[in-house]
Amino acid sequence: MKKKLKVGIIGGSGLYDIEGLKKKKEVSIKTPFGKPSDKYTIFEFDGKEVIFLPRHGKHHTILPSKLNFRANIYGFKSLGVDKIISISACGSLKEEYKPLDFVVVDQFIDRTNQARPYTFFDKDLVVHISFAHPVCKNLADSLYRAATKAKVKVHKKGTYINMEGPQFSTLAESNLYRSWGADIIGMTNMAEAKLAREAEICYASIAAITDYDCWHPDHDSVTVEMIISNLIKNVENSKRLIKEFLLSIDETSDCNCQEALKYAIVTNSKFIPKTTKEKLNLLIGKYIK
How many structural domains are present in the chain?
A: 1
The verdict on residue 160 lying in a domain is yes
For CA atoms 91, 161, 118, 10, give the dihedral sign.
positive
165 or 34: whose pLDDT is higher? 34
> H helices within 41-164, ranges in order?
69-78, 137-149
Question: What is the Cα–Cα distance from 83 to 169, expressed in whole angstroms?
Answer: 32
Average pLDDT, the chain: 93
Distance of CA 289 to the CA centre of its chain: 31
The three-point CA angle 140-143-145 to 5° equals 110
231 or 101: whose pLDDT is higher? 101
Residues with catalytic function: 211, 213
The verdict on residue 1 lying in a domain is no
The verdict on residue 276 lying in a domain is yes
What is the predicted pLDDT for the residue at 92?
Answer: 96
Question: What is the Cα–Cα distance from 246 to 242, expressed in whole angstroms?
Answer: 6
Q: What is the mean pLDDT of residues 47-51?
A: 92
142-146, 222-226, 269-273: range with lowest mean pLDDT: 222-226
In which band, very low, low, confident or very high, does the pLDDT at 93 lie, cut at 50, 70 and 90? very high
Distances (CA, A) of 221 to 91, 171, 190, 217, 226: 15, 15, 30, 9, 10
Q: What is the mean pLDDT of residues 65-85?
A: 97
Question: What is the Cα–Cα distance from 240 to 230, expressed in whole angstroms?
Answer: 16
Q: Which residues pair with 209 in a beta bridge?
A: 90
pTM: predicted TM-score of the whole model, two decimal places: 0.95
261 contact partners, CB below 8 Å, separation of at least 6? 127, 129, 198, 200, 283, 284, 287
What is the predicted pLDDT for the residue at 2?
Answer: 59
What is the predicted pLDDT for the residue at 90?
Answer: 95
What is the predicted pLDDT for the residue at 222?
Answer: 67
Question: What is the Cα–Cα distance from 37 to 289, expressed in whole angstroms?
Answer: 32
The verdict on residue 289 lying in a domain is no
Residues of the domain holding 206? 6-284
Task: Name the E strands within 156-263.
Answer: 159-163, 184-186, 202-212
pLDDT of residue 1 exceeding 70, the answer is no
Backbone dihedral angles phi then psi of residue 275, each to the nearest 5 degrees = -60, -35
The verdict on residue 231 lying in a domain is yes
C-beta atoms surrounding 28 within 10 Å? 10
What is the predicted pLDDT for the residue at 13?
Answer: 81
pLDDT of residue 31 exceeding 80, the answer is yes
pLDDT of residue 23 exceeding 90, the answer is no
What is the predicted pLDDT for the residue at 214?
Answer: 92
**What are the pLDDT digits (tens) for 202-227?**
999 999 999 999 999 988 766 778 88
Residue 166: asked if its preceding bond is cis (omega within 30°), the reply is yes
Question: What is the Cα–Cα distance from 204 to 211, expressed in whole angstroms?
Answer: 22
35-44, 160-169, 188-197, 251-260: range with lowest mean pLDDT: 251-260
Residue 216 burial (10 A CB sphere; 0-12, 13-18, 19+): middle
The verdict on residue 57 lying in a domain is yes
For a pLDDT cut of 90, what percent of the chain falls above it?
Answer: 80
Strands 48-54, 107-111: pairing is: unpaired
> Could you tell me the CATH number of the domain that includes residue 87?
3.40.50.1580
User: Quick one: which of 14, 87, 93 has its CA closest to 50?
Assistant: 87
Contact 118, 108 (CB under 8 A): no
